[in-house]
Amino acid sequence: MSVLAPENTKGKVRESLFSRTGAMLIMAVGTVYFLTPIWWLFVGASKSSEEFTSTNPLWFADFDLFTNIGDLFAYRDGVFLRWMLNSVLYTGGAALLGTLIAAMCGYALAKYQFRGRELLFNVVLSGVLVPATALALPLFLIFSKVEMTNTFWSVFLPSLVNPFGVYLARIYATASVPDDLLEAARIDGSGEIRTFFKVSTRLMTPALVTIFLFHFVAVWNNFLLPLIMLSDERLFPVTLGLYSWNTQVNQIPELRGLVIIGALLSITPLVIAFLFLQRFWRNGLGAGAVK
């Protein structure tokens, strides 16, 4: 036994080293794969229109990024800034209110006993499986009936719905909010609404941040719903605005550079959100997976 022990230990060390090396290689390849388009976008945004087609697409020429950004902001009286503001209003408001609604619904499904609870939860789960593209046309018909198409509300109101957020909130509330704690709060005279906002939401913070991030990204990247609902350019989100420019590139070649710069700036809010909230996001996913 004493002779075999060192060999087994050596074999485990080799196996562990091989596994780590393989995992690192896979992660390195994945990192390069996902970051290459962003690098290409950053490099392309720093070039002039002539250099964009005549130089190495993955390396810099003359660094004109800030000049290009100034040209983008000045184009057509700053319409790009209007689109960015629209996206912030659509996304920020919908993500905040949608997270609150999803948290309250998930909490109610987790902590209250009432007839039809499981049926209601199954309906919510079925909503997760329905693609957004299948709902776009029915939503357009509904809003056209009430004459609300081509308005801010035609994009904002449908964006509040987040079935996956309800599902995640219920799972997390079941695991992280003890029934004994809620009962103690009721005995102390705390109402249900106060208990939810003062006690339960603090315990559900990782889940709420996770729901907010997922909802934020989904609404920010939403394209089909604004495309169907909106015809007024002043109401466009940045995704739809850049698409409208891209369709005119053949007629107006200088728009190509503006589209690239605009695409780079349009992902900035997503990067900032993930950088500031990634700690809570990781904690939320980890806790949900373990519990």
Tell me the domain boundaries of the chain.
Answer: 4-63, 66-290
Asked if residues 134 and 198 have their Cβ atoms less than 8 Å apart, the reply is: no
Q: What's residue 1's pLDDT?
A: 45
pLDDT per position as a tens digit, 4-43: 445 555 555 566 777 888 888 999 999 899 889 889 888 8
Asked if residues 239 and 223 have their Cβ atoms less than 8 Å apart, the reply is: yes
Ranges of residues in the chain with a pLDDT under 50 are: 1-5, 284-291
Q: At what angle do helices 117-129 and 163-176 cross, to 10 degrees?
A: 130
d(CA 121, CA 230): 33
- Name the pTM for this structure: 0.83
Asked if residues 266 and 84 have their Cβ atoms less than 8 Å apart, the reply is: yes
Q: What's residue 276's pLDDT?
A: 82
Output the CATH code of domain 66-290.
1.10.3720.10
Q: What's residue 289's pLDDT?
A: 43
Q: What's residue 7's pLDDT?
A: 52
CB-CB neighbours of 35 under 10 Å? 10
Query: What is the DSSP secondary structure assignment for residue 197, as one 8-state letter?
Result: I
Q: Which residues contact 169 (CB under 8 A, 6 or more apart)?
A: 102, 103, 105, 106, 107, 110, 204, 207, 208, 211
Q: What's residue 237's pLDDT?
A: 95
Q: What's residue 9's pLDDT?
A: 56
Q: What's residue 14's pLDDT?
A: 61
- CA-closest candidate to residue 274, choices 221, 209, 228, 223: 209
The pair of three-digit structure tokens given for residue 42, joined into one six-digit string: 């950053």
